[in-house]
Amino acid sequence: MIAKTRERTLKLARDTLTIEAAALQTMRDRLEGANADALVLAVELLHGCKGRIVVSGIGKSGHIARKIAATFASTGSPAFFVHPAEASHGDLGMVTRDDVFVALSNSGETDELLTIVPIVKRTGAKMIALTGAPNSALAKLADAHLDTSVEKEACPLNLAPTSSTTAALAMGDALAVALLDARGFEAEDFIRSHPGGRLGRKQLMHVSEVMRSLEDTPKISVEASLQDALLEMTSKRMGMVVALDQDKKVFGILTDGDLRRLLEKNTNLGGITLRSATTPGPRTIPPELLAEEAIEMMEKHRINHLVVTDNNGKLLGALNLHDLFAAKVI
């Protein structure tokens, strides 16, 4: 890429970000008086919705509407997107009197929306409009109109929807955030809505679901020979072995790191007992704790293994970083 082209590319990118940031700042500053009242009313309508939030738009506004519907749904407010053209051919039956209809149109004069909005209103559903034209037909039909107008698009031709779609998306986020707060939506609620993601797995999955079973955990009596301990460690392939006392309680742990340190000091391990080689009182964790807490404990103490025990110190299993990676919680 020649220098002139590179500089123009960077200038356009910076100008785009500057223009869109300015548009958002202007929209924020506009939230006073009647505009502030309209936003509060919109949130009240959404909070009082006994049905679902139906979001609609066409073209680029339709793409933004889909994202807004998804954000509402993921933050505790049942919502879905309906295409206005499809709504005219039967999908309007999805909208009931208990719903709130959210319409997006920068011009406020989108024919497909203006065709269905009067019917939506006749069902008894409340309507919120996000437009860039406060005097448009759609704005006048709305129970609450939110002004998302921008001075200009970031497109150099001032044609492609750029700043206007960013403004509509940001206003949708503002509604969703205000609504989740009004609903008392907590982090635990968000996690329950996202069980398939890493965040959900980390904060919903318990140690008992991630740990190696007792059978698969390398373990041996603390009175056994070091050689037998090494054989047990090797056979279970966990990089450590748990040493148990005569009551089958956890005495200590021997890791491959412990072995390397032993070899640095002793070329002959024949005279070393397992008891003397074992690190006593290893870090333990109960099975009912969350996987997230296991991760925090490992990070805090800079360890790769945790021994899972019951309240009496009896071995139940173990886990290491590889188990947490395999479960996709980190």
Answer yes or no: do 26 and 69 share one domain.
yes
Confidence of residue 174 (pLDDT cuts 50, 70, 90): very high
Full-prediction pTM beyond 0.85? Answer: no
Residue 269, pLDDT above cutoff 80: no
Task: Taking residues 185-210, report their average pLDDT.
Answer: 66
Has residue 194 been placed in a domain?
Answer: no
Q: Calculate ∠ Cα 297-302-305, nearest 5°.
A: 70
Answer yes or no: do 36 and 112 share one domain.
yes
Residue 186, pLDDT above cutoff 90: no
| Distances 9 to 2, 4, 6, 21, 153 between C-alpha atoms, Å | 11, 9, 5, 18, 17
Confidence of residue 192 (pLDDT cuts 50, 70, 90): low
* Residue whose pair of structure tokens reads 């609450």 in the numeric block: 144
pLDDT at 120: 94
Answer yes or no: do 316 and 266 share one domain.
yes
- Report whether 191 contacts 200 (CB < 8 A): yes
Answer yes or no: do 124 and 26 share one domain.
yes
Answer yes or no: do 7 and 127 share one domain.
yes
Confidence of residue 78 (pLDDT cuts 50, 70, 90): very high
How is residue 230 written in tokens? 């090494």
Lowest mean pLDDT among 78-82, 163-167, 272-276: 272-276
Confidence of residue 203 (pLDDT cuts 50, 70, 90): low
Task: Taking residues 188-203, report their average pLDDT.
Answer: 58
Has residue 195 been placed in a domain?
Answer: no
Lowest mean pLDDT among 85-89, 183-187, 232-236: 183-187
CATH number at residue 262: 3.10.580.10
How is residue 299 written in tokens? 């990070």
pLDDT at 188: 62
How is residue 183 written in tokens? 């609903």
pLDDT at 173: 97
Answer yes or no: do 43 and 178 share one domain.
yes
Answer yes or no: do 225 and 168 share one domain.
no
Answer yes or no: do 124 and 156 share one domain.
yes
- Of 202-206, 212-216, 291-295, the range with the highest mean pLDDT is 212-216
Confidence of residue 91 (pLDDT cuts 50, 70, 90): confident
Answer yes or no: do 92 and 131 share one domain.
yes
Number of domains composing the chain: 2
Task: Taking residues 305-330, report their average pLDDT.
Answer: 85
Q: SS3 for 45?
A: helix
Domain that holds residue 298: 204-326
Task: Taking residues 59-78, report their average pLDDT.
Answer: 94
Q: What is the mean pLDDT of the chain?
A: 88
pLDDT at 303: 85
Cα–Cα distance, 136 to 38 (Å, whole number): 16
pLDDT at 272: 75
Alpha helices in the chain (DSSP H): 3-29, 33-47, 60-74, 84-87, 111-123, 137-141, 163-182, 187-192, 198-204, 207-210, 226-236, 256-265, 274-277, 291-301, 321-326
Lowest mean pLDDT among 11-20, 109-118, 130-139, 312-321: 312-321
Answer yes or no: do 107 and 236 share one domain.
no
Has residue 191 been placed in a domain?
Answer: no
Residues 6+ apart with CB under 8 A from 238: 212, 217, 218, 305, 318, 320
Has residue 49 been placed in a domain?
Answer: yes
Residue 106, pLDDT above cutoff 60: yes
Has residue 129 been placed in a domain?
Answer: yes
